[in-house]
């Protein structure tokens, strides 16, 4: 399958380049050409045959092609819990609303609820997700079947997921199919015993692999860890050798100078989740401090129970906006930096080194942003328009691995939205009954 | 023109009601029926003839009808300046980027740039705007011609708008046509001499009318006012009798207990603009404190140069999210409260007492929210879905004064989006040349 996008503006997100007018060609799952019109015409002269063999040619009408967004922290199947409980303190929310429902979820439920999230990823231009949840195999199946690029992370905790399962998934899901991969991880310091954490650190050393987890999301979490171990979560986990092969932390809202030194030293990624941190009143992460130290930052939505949507445009605006508020400086963490977090840095954090930018040889994870909409006009600065003004309504097309999965409001994932809405509703009714 | 919406969920925003399934009928610019299906059937029995006389019947497919959003603070024609200058300190932004361009704008420019904003209002479900800018008559013409409900507010300042012009507009634009009205106002304390402010207070007394203005947007503004008058902006303006007949303030980020007492005593509205306050690093307004005192809060986007979009979904999320962060309380300023700010309170602040809720006799300013989209599923709580998960992409239809101005991506304002994009681009090129 060969697709030609022509008459496009292109933002490759490669270091050296700004936006240019040109073409992007795909062959099966890869980009085979992405350059200016002049370059393309020279190529045509050298390769006259290639003009004839596209399966589809798409006139982009000067709209923008760019790498898809990487949602670097989510719990997809929590779609079920969207708007089920909000405007309440975190402890009540978790213990009375979230955990009882999650205890009732089957692998099949999680399959469909993950696919419901995939719809939302696609219409928001998200081409890869970094997902942590229950029943990894049904999540991997859901993503393979709907064509979503998914990196799962282990969720070891005292109650439901063992290091053994995580090791099994690590070996089974990496390389199983072209959509899925798997990274070592655990839920959080506060949901794992020290023994459990030591086992995960052993796995990190055994496989020389990075580890990801929730770290320092709330002030309370940090305080309790200090009481337990006389160290911050970052310090304590690092003391176990957890990050000797890198990795990263979701949230990292409440960190010390020493924490940041550790993050930098270990080559770790910060995955910030400003929507969730705002709605749950967790605090504002010190993004500007991370950037000043050269610690790479990626963006995630967190799950739909705490956000309540899976929208990277909102996360981008919040990332820069909250940094500006925190530092009392309208110039800090600019739009270009934020767009890099939402694309390139996310890909690198997830180990998707071949899905970071638009270039020949990279996988074809591409989106088209509609610039012919009122919120993008007049076109003064496209990058700033995307970060400060963009919304899901600007996403015209989402391609993952060379397959167009969303285009002008229509999905192509092998199951209809209506079927998934029905499934989600049925699961909700069933669990509500079980909980009565 | 009679339109029947059937098979709808309806959120009237009237005090006593939650969401019900029913119908909404319009006749010319008014709602003539808005109630449950049972009530409608009873009505049919009593009025059998009315079944036949609809010009159009719309199957809502269980999607939601609700009052349109009221954007209670904007500078529409600043669309020209969207993303022209960002990520820079406020003073540089104003003096080097905004003011030089504004000095070149003609009334005709402002007509077209306002209509460009109208497109964005419509696709975001905004049915009324509270607009402050240059050349009030061309703004009123733009809104009348595109069918946008517009309340303008005076922008008296030392440089470009006199109390005499504001009085003239007050008498001329109120009642001129069914789309426009006008409220007394001035730009801000820091852009008006004391003499000028006294003249506006005189107008307030002459017409027994409310006055609106920017107040206490930045900490610096408050400090400078204290240096000048030994009073906060709220105290100083009130000492002139400015708010003896009510009115309100845009922003009100930095206020004291005494300021709040004055706002309450004078029956004033707070119009909060969290997107702008975030992007320009102005601070987080104490919304929770206003609510506790019973001071009504409305929401506005501010202009597209400081936001950079005109999107009430973002403002709603930010209003509750920033309040939660500020108060360190995930339960504060809940979704229901925020939705009231974005609709009912906005209408009341703007003096649009007949455009606040859905009810027989009210003007037909109605929007349809698409619930059959992934970000709204499953339907656990529609109000929370709108506030925490909603986006412009969920707006299916926008009706103002009984006329459908936007439906499924198509606009009906007498001019095409493409023409307005072209106009904006031409204005941009011309002014850039003039500034060279």
Q: Which residues of B touch A374 (CB under 8 A)?
A: 116-117, 119-120, 123, 417, 420
Q: Say whether pLDDT at A41 is over 90.
A: no
Cross-chain residue pair B388–A309, CB shorter than 8 Å: yes
Helix residue ranges, H only, B93-241: 99-102, 107-123, 136-146, 163-173, 194-207, 219-229, 233-239
pLDDT tens per residue, range A200-253: 999 999 999 999 999 999 999 999 999 999 999 999 999 999 999 999 999 999
Q: Are A33 and A306 in contact (CB under 8 A)?
A: no
Q: Which residue has the tokens 């990190």?
A: A204
Give the chain A residue whose CA is nearest to the CA of B417: A374
Q: Which residue has the tokens 């007498």?
A: B414
**Which of A8-12, A43-47, B95-99 has the least mean pLDDT?**
A43-47
Reported as a pLDDT band with limits 50, 70 and 90, residue A25 is very high
**Torsion region of A239: left, alpha or beta (phi above 0 gives left; psi -120 to 50 gives alpha):** alpha
* Amino acid A51: pLDDT: 65
Reported as a pLDDT band with limits 50, 70 and 90, residue A50 is low
Q: Which residues of A touch B82 (CB under 8 A)?
A: 377-378, 380, 385, 389
* Amino acid A38: pLDDT: 85
Distance CA A191, CA A172 (A): 25
The mean pLDDT of B30-38, rounded to a whole number, is 92
* Amino acid B51: pLDDT: 65
* Amino acid A85: pLDDT: 83
Cross-chain residue pair B86–A392, CB shorter than 8 Å: no
Q: Which of A278, A379, A389 sits opposite B309 (nearest CB)?
A: A389
Reported as a pLDDT band with limits 50, 70 and 90, residue B351 is very high
Q: Which of B385, B424, B427 sits opposite A83 (nearest CB)?
A: B385
Give the chain B residue whose CA is nearest to the CA of A417: B374
Give the chain A residue whose CA is nearest to the CA of B315: A314
Q: Say whether pLDDT at A143 is over 70.
A: yes
Mean pLDDT of chain B: 95
3-state secondary structure of B337: helix
Reported as a pLDDT band with limits 50, 70 and 90, residue B52 is low
Distance CA A424, CA A410 (A): 20
Q: Are A239 and A257 in contact (CB under 8 A)?
A: no
pLDDT tens per residue, range A167-189: 999 999 999 999 999 999 999 99
Task: Pick the more confident residue, B321 or B48.
Answer: B321
Q: Please report, in angstroms and rounded to a whole number, the separation of the first and last CA atoms in chain B.
A: 51
Give A122 to chain B, closest Cα distance, Å. 10
The mean pLDDT of B198-215, rounded to a whole number, is 98
Phi/psi at A40 (nearest 5 deg)?
Answer: -65, -40
Q: Say whether pLDDT at A47 is over 80.
A: no
Burial of A435 (0-12, 13-18, 19+ CB in 10 A): exposed
Reported as a pLDDT band with limits 50, 70 and 90, residue A53 is confident
* Amino acid B91: pLDDT: 73
Q: Which of B81, B116, B393 sits opposite A374 (nearest CB)?
A: B116
Q: Which of B87, B320, B321 sits opposite A330 (nearest CB)?
A: B87
Angle at B314 between CA B313 and CA B315, to 5 degrees: 90
State how beta strands A2-10 and A56-59 pair. parallel
| Among candidate residues B400, B74, B416, the one with its CA nearest the CA of residue A374 | B416
Distance CA B31, CA B62 (A): 19
Q: Which residues contact B135 (CB under 8 A, 6 or more apart)?
A: B105, B107, B110
Question: For the structural domain made of A2-67+359-411, what CATH number should be given?
Answer: 2.30.40.10
Q: Which of A281, A384, A428 sits opposite B378 (nearest CB)?
A: A428
Which of B83, B85, B435 best probes binding to A when mutated, by most A CB atoms within 10 angstroms? B83
- Quick one: DSSP state of residue A12? -
Q: Which residue has the tokens 């009073």?
A: B231
Phi/psi at A252 (nearest 5 deg)?
Answer: 45, 55
Cross-chain residue pair B421–A377, CB shorter than 8 Å: yes
Share of chain B above pLDDT 70, in %: 99
CATH of A69-349, one of 3.40.50.720, 2.102.10.10, 3.20.20.140, 1.10.10.60: 3.20.20.140
Cross-chain residue pair B325–A116, CB shorter than 8 Å: no
Cross-chain residue pair A421–B377, CB shorter than 8 Å: yes
Q: Which residues of A touch B321 (CB under 8 A)?
A: 275, 278-279, 318
Reported as a pLDDT band with limits 50, 70 and 90, residue B221 is very high
Give A288 to chain B, closest Cα distance, Å. 13
| Among candidate residues B428, B403, B433, the one with its CA nearest the CA of residue B116 | B428
Q: Say whether pLDDT at A405 is over 90.
A: yes
The mean pLDDT of A27-55, rounded to a whole number, is 84
The mean pLDDT of A419-433, rounded to a whole number, is 97
Reported as a pLDDT band with limits 50, 70 and 90, residue A88 is confident
Domain spans, chain B: 2-67+360-411, 69-349
Burial of A94 (0-12, 13-18, 19+ CB in 10 A): middle
* Amino acid A52: pLDDT: 61
Which of B303, B330, B334, B422 best probes binding to A when mutated, by most A CB atoms within 10 angstroms? B330
**Which of A94-98, A305-309, B253-257, B365-369 has the least mean pLDDT?**
A94-98
Helix residue ranges, H only, B208-351: 219-229, 233-239, 257-265, 274-279, 287-292, 312-327, 335-340, 346-349
Q: Which of A310, A327, A384 sits opposite B83 (nearest CB)?
A: A384
Q: Say whether pLDDT at A16 is over 80.
A: no
Mean pLDDT of chain A: 95
Angle at B421 between CA B99 and CA B101, to 5 degrees: 10
Which of B63, B335, B370, B374 best probes binding to A when mutated, by most A CB atoms within 10 angstroms? B374
Q: Which residues of B touch A113 (CB under 8 A)?
A: none
Burial of B277 (0-12, 13-18, 19+ CB in 10 A): buried
Q: Which residues of B touch A83 (CB under 8 A)?
A: 380-381, 384-385, 388-389
3-state secondary structure of B378: coil
Give the chain B residue whose CA is nearest to the CA of A396: B393
* Amino acid B15: pLDDT: 87
| Among candidate residues B84, B160, B85, B147, the one with its CA nearest the CA of residue B114 | B147
pLDDT tens per residue, range B359-384: 999 999 999 999 999 999 999 999 99
Distance CA B325, CA B329 (A): 7
Reported as a pLDDT band with limits 50, 70 and 90, residue A66 is very high
Buried b (16+ CB within 10 A) or exposed e, A208-231: ebbbbbbbbbbeebbeebeeeeeb
B346 HSE (CA, 13 A, CB side): 35
Reported as a pLDDT band with limits 50, 70 and 90, residue B60 is very high
* Amino acid A411: pLDDT: 98
State how far the alpha carbon of A68 is from the alpha carbons of A281, A342, A357, A381, B209, in Å.
29, 9, 9, 19, 52
Q: Are A391 and A375 in contact (CB under 8 A)?
A: yes
Q: Say whether pLDDT at B316 is over 90.
A: yes
Topology adopted by domain B2-67+360-411:
Urease, subunit C; domain 1 (2.30.40)
pLDDT tens per residue, range A185-204: 999 999 999 999 999 999 99
* Amino acid B50: pLDDT: 62
Q: Are B377 and A418 in contact (CB under 8 A)?
A: no
| Among candidate residues B11, B8, B1, the one with its CA nearest the CA of residue B386 | B11
Give B285 to chain A, closest Cα distance, Å. 12
Give the chain B residue whose CA is nearest to the CA of A278: B321
Q: Say whether pLDDT at B263 is over 80.
A: yes
ipTM attached to this prediction: 0.97
Distance of CA B160 to the CA centre of its chain: 24
Q: Which residue has the tokens 């809502």?
A: B60
């Amino acid at each position: 399958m060969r697709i030609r996008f022509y008459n496009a503006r292109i933002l490759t997100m490669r270091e050296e380049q700004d936006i240019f007018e040109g073409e992007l060609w795909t062959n099966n799952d890869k980009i085979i050409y992405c350059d200016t019109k002049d370059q393309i015409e020279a190529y045509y002269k050298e390769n006259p045959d290639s003009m004839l063999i596209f399966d589809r040619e798409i006139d982009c009408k000067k709209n923008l092609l760019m790498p898809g967004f990487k949602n670097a922290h989510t719990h997809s199947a929590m779609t079920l819990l969207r708007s089920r409980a909000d405007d309440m303190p975190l402890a009540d929310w978790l213990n009375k609303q979230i955990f009882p429902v999650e205890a009732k979820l089957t692998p099949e439920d999680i399959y469909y609820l993950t696919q419901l999230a995939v719809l939302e990823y696609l219409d928001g231009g998200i081409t890869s997700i970094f997902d942590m949840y229950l029943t990894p195999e049904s999540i991997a199946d859901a993503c393979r079947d709907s064509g979503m690029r998914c990196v799962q992370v282990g969720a070891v905790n005292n109650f439901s997921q063992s290091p053994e399962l995580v090791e099994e998934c690590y070996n089974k899901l990496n390389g199983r199919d072209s959509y899925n991969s798997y990274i070592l991880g655990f839920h959080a310091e506060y949901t794992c015993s020290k023994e459990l954490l030591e086992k995960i650190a052993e796995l990190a050393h055994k496989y020389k692999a990075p580890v990801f987890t929730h770290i320092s999301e709330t002030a309370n979490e940090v305080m309790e860890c200090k009481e337990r171990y006389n160290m911050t979560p970052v310090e304590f986990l690092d003391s176990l050798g957890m990050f000797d092969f890198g990795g990263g932390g979701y949230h990292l809202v409440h960190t010390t100078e020493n924490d940041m030194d550790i993050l930098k030293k270990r080559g770790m990624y910060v995955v910030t989740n400003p929507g969730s941190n705002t709605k749950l009143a967790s605090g504002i992460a010190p993004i500007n401090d991370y950037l000043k130290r050269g610690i790479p930052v990626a963006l995630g939505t967190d799950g739909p129970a705490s956000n309540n949507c899976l929208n990277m445009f909102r996360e981008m605006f919040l990332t820069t906006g909250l940094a500006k508020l925190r530092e009392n400086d309208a110039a800090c963490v600019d739009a270009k930096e934020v767009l890099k977090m939402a694309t390139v840095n996310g890909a690198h954090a997830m180990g998707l080194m071949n899905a970071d930018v638009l270039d020949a040889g990279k996988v074809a994870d591409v989106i088209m942003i509609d610039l012919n909409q009122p919120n993008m006009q007049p076109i003064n600065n496209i990058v700033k328009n995307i970060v400060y003004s963009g919304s899901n309504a600007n996403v015209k097309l989402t391609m993952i691995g060379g397959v167009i999965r969303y285009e002008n409001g229509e999905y192509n994932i092998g199951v209809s939205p209506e079927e998934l809405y029905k499934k989600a509703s049925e699961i909700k009714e069933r669990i509500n009954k079980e909980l009565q």
